[in-house]
Structure 1
Amino acid sequence: MGRKLVDNTALIDDLGVGRYFQRQGIGTQLVNFVIDWARSDGLSALKVITQANNFAAAATYRAAGFEETAGEYLYFEKKLLDGD
């Protein structure tokens, strides 16, 4: 679900709630748990990666006080089916 980074921050990069359990506040509880854990561990910040079209997740993070940032990460992909 997350990991510590070198700059005294933690990264949430794989947080999800099963389809039948969504819209019940479980995602909010998980995010709040991670926030509490990070604070108790003395971390200075949390970062989140989510898909741009995951509007429910974005709303959850915004409601928890996260601010959208741009340009912090570069994503690369190499297609392998064409042989090179």
Structure 2
Amino acid sequence: MTIYFDTGILLKLYSAEADSAKAIALVQRFGSPICFTDLQDAELRNALYRKNARNEISRPEFKEGITRSAERYRPGNSSASVD
């Protein structure tokens, strides 16, 4: 079975939020790698940029989130690893 996670769940993997631990546990239940599309990559990066613009995350947290997402996802791939 193919599982796709909503950007709200993916964002919690790349930015510390209240329910990040729950999101990580949920994703890990389905194993790694997870399905990851070009649209999800764009939405995730956009969400990180918005959080940064609203000062919801620090500049170092923003850079780390962008870097980690880029390391795990390459355009054209259909999956990403999750720690």
Instruction: Give the TM-score taking structure 2 as reference length.
Output: 0.32
Report which of the two has the higher share of helix: 2
Q: State TM-score, norm by structure 1.
A: 0.32
The higher-RCO structure (CA 8 Å, 6+ apart) is 2
The structure in which a higher percent of residues are strand is: 1
Asked which structure has the greater CA Rg, the reply is 1
